């Protein structure tokens, strides 16, 4: 496994001296109202994925027309799987390889970084890197093959008005400074990142993309080509695919799986899993008519906290056995 970590300059809290319970609210908030901005999905696409493709609507229609050539073959395959193994197989049906997951994530990550203001030092940056390292090492225990094949990297994006975090296929992650006040603590951030890492290792992102747009679109995003060809078409397919990856809801089954795996990963990494229920209560309080962007793809439905509490005893048992609680490295 190649883990890409960039060490920050000296100063700030170190891994041994910054307590889990210490607040990590951003030092400056530039919003006039001092409140996180609530964004619609459409506006989120433009902010998170870069500029909207100049001919996005036309391209979308073209992509749908192109994939009709394959819909018979793929549709028959999906139908046969559904008939022989049940509906759960359809949710886990993925036409891409793990290597293609990584290629797709790399292209999408580059698209995001075109416009993102990335923080490269400071306590919050160091916190994100530390949590990422611990969670990735913990996730290796549960999914050694997938974790080993992904190239993990996390960036901190300076945007106090955006309440969001994500992990692309292949292990490329981003945390927005706007989610830090909701996380409140290092353990709270581990809830968010553990959940997102679990989506990636379960390959939920590419499952959702191929279900929504078809195999041809996903492969075009990986190769950076379209049937029309040309640089403009390449940019459009990558930009549109990036927005879809960051905005497509995963479904309740995938969310429950990520909740369970996320609890186990953060517990093994030495973070108290009981922080998960407190985090979701805080996130749910930000809902309403216009919830934060993260909630648009991670619905805080009424049964979620109850489901977390059902999963909690097993997660607490992992936490109590974890050597990382005392700062020791994981075996």
- pLDDT by residue for the chain (331 residues), tens digit each? 444 443 333 333 333 334 444 444 444 444 444 444 333 223 333 344 333 333 333 333 333 444 444 333 334 333 333 333 334 444 556 777 888 888 888 888 998 999 999 999 999 999 999 999 999 999 999 999 999 999 999 999 999 999 999 999 899 999 999 999 999 999 999 999 999 999 999 988 777 776 766 555 556 655 554 444 444 445 665 566 566 555 666 677 888 899 999 999 999 999 999 999 999 888 888 765 445 555 555 555 567 888 899 999 999 999 999 988 866 667 6
Alpha helices in the chain (DSSP H): 41-48, 56-85, 87-91, 98-113, 123-142, 144-149, 180-183, 186-201, 204-213, 215-223, 231-247, 252-268, 275-285, 293-297, 304-321
Given 126, 161, 196, 236, the catalytic residue: 196
Start-to-end CA span in the chain (Å): 16
Q: For this structure, is 326 an active site residue?
A: no
pTM assigned to the model = 0.65
β pairing state of 151-157 and 118-119: antiparallel
> Which tokens sit at 150?
């992904």
The pLDDT, as a whole number, for residue 219 is 60
* DSSP output for 5-69: --PPPS-S--TTTS-TTS----S----TTSSPPP--HHHHHHHHS-SPPTTHHHHHHHHHHHHHH
């Amino acid at each position: 496994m190649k883990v890409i970590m960039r060490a920050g300059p000296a100063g700030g809290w170190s891994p041994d001296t910054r307590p889990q319970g210490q607040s990590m609210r951003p030092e400056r908030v530039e919003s006039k109202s001092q409140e996180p901005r609530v964004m619609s999905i459409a506006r989120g696409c433009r902010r998170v994925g870069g500029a909207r493709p100049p001919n996005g609507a036309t391209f979308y229609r073209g992509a749908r027309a192109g994939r009709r050539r394959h819909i018979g073959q793929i549709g028959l395959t999906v139908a046969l799987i559904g008939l022989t193994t049940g509906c759960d197989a359809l949710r886990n049906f993925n036409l891409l390889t793990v290597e293609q997951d990584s290629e797709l994530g790399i292209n999408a990550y580059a698209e995001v970084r075109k416009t993102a203001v990335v923080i490269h030092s400071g306590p919050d940056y160091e916190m994100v890197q530390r949590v990422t390292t611990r969670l990735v090492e913990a996730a290796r225990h549960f999914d050694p093959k997938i974790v080993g094949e992904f190239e993990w990297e996390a960036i901190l994006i300076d945007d106090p008005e955006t309440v969001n975090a994500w992990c692309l296929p292949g292990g490329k992650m981003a945390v927005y400074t706007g989610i830090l006040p909701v996380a409140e603590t290092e353990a709270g951030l581990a809830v968010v990142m553990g959940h997102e890492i679990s989506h990636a290792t379960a390959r939920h992102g590419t499952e959702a993309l191929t279900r929504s747009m078809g195999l041809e679109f996903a492969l075009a995003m990986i190769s950076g080509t379209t049937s029309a060809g040309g640089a403009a078409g390449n940019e459009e397919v990558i930009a549109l695919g990036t927005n879809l990856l960051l905005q497509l809801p995963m479904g309740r089954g995938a969310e429950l799986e990520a909740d369970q795996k996320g609890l186990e990963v953060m517990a093994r990494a030495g973070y108290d899993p009981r922080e998960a229920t407190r985090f979701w209560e805080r996130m749910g309080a930000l809902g309403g008519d216009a919830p934060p962007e993260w909630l648009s793809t991670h619905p805080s439905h009424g049964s979620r906290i109850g489901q977390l509490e059902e999963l909690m005893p097993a997660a607490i048992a992992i936490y109590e056995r974890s050597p990382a609680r005392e700062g020791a490295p994981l075996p």
